């Protein structure tokens, strides 16, 4: 696991507070893990396959969507249902959170609200269209400890 800076933990804490405080869907997943665990799976806006500089640009352009991306990254890492239905669920939660954030951040009278909603739908569409390989890869990355814990939960 990469070293997580205090600045990174502060960003994650802020995003968790935003997600929980605004009642974003899936935020309960964030309350079950430590900030370090959450920070270890959060990569910002964009897939792991993008270079970090490109994710940094996306994080700046779509900064208001980072809390939705945080929940999405955590779902990719920790949801047990690795089927197509689980993938679709994670992407549906992302879409609803992106739209909700657009509505929270911009009044109904603001043209920016509708521009951001359109951008949010495009982000979610891209995740649906191109995210399946990452979903499968995330499911394969369960550690032996997590697999043992899952087996114990089933007993």
Nearest to 62 by CA among 126, 119, 8, 111: 119
Tell me the pTM: 0.87
> pLDDT (tens digit, 9 = 90+) per residue, 4-46?
788 889 999 999 999 999 999 999 999 999 999 999 999 999 9
Task: Check pLDDT > 50 for residue 82.
Answer: yes
- For 13-62, give the DSSP string: HHHHHHHHHTT-TTGGGGGGS-HHHHHHH---SS-TTS-HHHHHHHHHHT
């Amino acid at each position: 696991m990469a070293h997580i800076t205090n600045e990174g933990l502060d960003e994650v804490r802020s995003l968790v507070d935003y997600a929980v405080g605004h009642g974003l869907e899936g935020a309960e997943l964030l309350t079950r893990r430590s900030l370090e665990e959450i920070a270890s799976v959060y990569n910002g806006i964009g897939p792991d396959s993008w270079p970090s500089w490109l994710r940094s640009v996306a994080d700046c352009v779509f900064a208001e969507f980072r809390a939705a991306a945080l929940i999405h990254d955590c779902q990719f890492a920790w949801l047990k249902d690795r089927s197509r239905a689980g993938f679709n669920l994670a992407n549906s939660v992302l879409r609803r959170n992106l739209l909700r954030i657009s509505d929270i951040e911009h009044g109904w009278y603001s043209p920016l609200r509708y521009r951001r909603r359109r951008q949010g739908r495009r982000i979610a569409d891209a995740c649906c269209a191109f995210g399946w390989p990452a979903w499968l890869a995330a499911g394969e990355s369960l550690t032996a400890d997590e697999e043992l814990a899952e087996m114990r939960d089933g007993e």
